[in-house]
Amino acid sequence: MRTFIIKANKAHTKADFKLKDLPGTSGRIDLLCRVLNSAFLLSHSFRKNVRVWLSLYGPPNPPKAIRFEGQGMKPKTLNPDELSTAKLIIKALKVGENLREPSKEIQVLPGIYVSNLTFEDIIRRTLKGATLYYLHEEGRPIERVNFSQNVAFVLGDHEGLTPEDEAFLSGIAEKVSIGRKSYLASHVVAYVNIFLDSITPPP
Amino acid sequence: MRTFIIKANKAHTKADFKLKDLPGTSGRIDLLCRVLNSAFLLSHSFRKNVRVWLSLYGPPNPPKAIRFEGQGMKPKTLNPDELSTAKLIIKALKVGENLREPSKEIQVLPGIYVSNLTFEDIIRRTLKGATLYYLHEEGRPIERVNFSQNVAFVLGDHEGLTPEDEAFLSGIAEKVSIGRKSYLASHVVAYVNIFLDSITPPP
């Protein structure tokens, strides 16, 4: 099982943005769409062993969490293009708009859930079943890490994690690096998936 | 120098498609946008040592070729999101619409050129300055290839290359693989870029 957790500190927590201008109006929901693409999609197929948590902290109602569960999603739910994925996020935000409970998850579509879970809630829940890594250019080279079967990776958005987020992760998530440069989150996820495929014995 | 050549057999050669529905109306120009993103973009920066050729063979006026030259492009020309990149492709197709000469390139924007060059023209021109590889899941594992300084990679779109394309490449491009699975073109390009960074000595 592979989990990717992306903390998006500016991503809007209400569907108040324009689909035509995601980068300019949504706090970079476009970036989250590309991360979902990289996390789940293969050519003409789909990774069922992946979970993605989007942890949204932008205006007006942070936090919102959207969980995408490969096991439960229907194969045609997620398509490669950004706009159709943005529509899934919009649907989740609309379903979660009047949710008040701090930890209840509501199903948006099969395998997709929205909640008010905090970043810390997501991390604590993830730690129960997986080893946690924080993808960071100054981390240990990925080739030198001994991965267990259940792994979870935390990533920041275009602005990275805040010092508070990093302080929270310190001691519970090892920093892992895929290279010396600073890469886009979606490229990092694509690389990690393909790298993990290469070290996973065929079924 | 890294060159990526993508042959898109269905991609429209006229700007007759809908920006709102690229997957359904353009012959998968959305896929080409994601390849450009993976080829050029770093977090808050830009790969100047990259060239991308889009070789479009869809209706109504094939072939069209669009060349993106990292050295010549302005840093803010290419943005991460699909729609703004699709607008660059639309602009190139409009500029190239009445072009009749088989080999003349017209500048669309600094570093971006449109022409009627064929896939074979692009390959022949590329072979003059680079070693050519064909990215294919049945190729030699990428870790075992000794790359020279100037490398060029050919990829297919969602339907892959035709038998005729493959016959043309046979003997002039070595097949190279990044893994056992069949990956999306944009993930392949992201992986190849990060892999090549890891074996390139720092400047």
Q: What is the CATH number of the domain that holds A86?
A: 3.40.1280.10
Chain A with chain B: Cβ pairs closer than 8 A:
106
Q: Which helix (H) or strand (E) holds B51?
A: strand B50-56
Answer yes or no: is pLDDT of A105 > 70: yes
Q: Which of A4, A43, A136, A184 to mutate to test the interface with B (most CBs of B within 10 A)?
A: A43
The verdict on a CB contact (< 8 Å) between A34 and B37 is yes
Interface membership of A35 toward B (CB under 8 Å) = no
Q: What is the pTM of this model?
A: 0.97
Which helix H or strand E contains A108, and what residues bound it?
Answer: strand A106-109
What's the gap between Cα B27 and its chain centre?
Answer: 15
A194 touches chain B (CB under 8 A): yes
Three-state DSSP at B16 gives coil
A55: its two tokens: 């942890």
Question: Can you say how many angstroms the Cα of residue A114 is from the centroid of all Cα atoms in its chain?
Answer: 13
Alpha helices in chain B (DSSP H): 22-25, 29-40, 82-95, 119-127, 163-169, 185-199
Give the Cα separation of A135 and A130 in Å (integer). Answer: 15
Work out the average pLDDT over B133-138. 95
In chain A, how many domains are there? 1
Write down the pLDDT at residue B180.
85
CB contact under 8 A, A182 and B42: yes
**Domain range holding A91?**
2-199
Note the pLDDT tens digit of each residue in B99-133: 999 999 999 999 999 999 999 999 999 999 999 99
> For the segment B58-79, what is each residue's pLDDT rounded down to a tens digit?
999 999 999 999 999 998 999 9
pLDDT of residue B17: 98
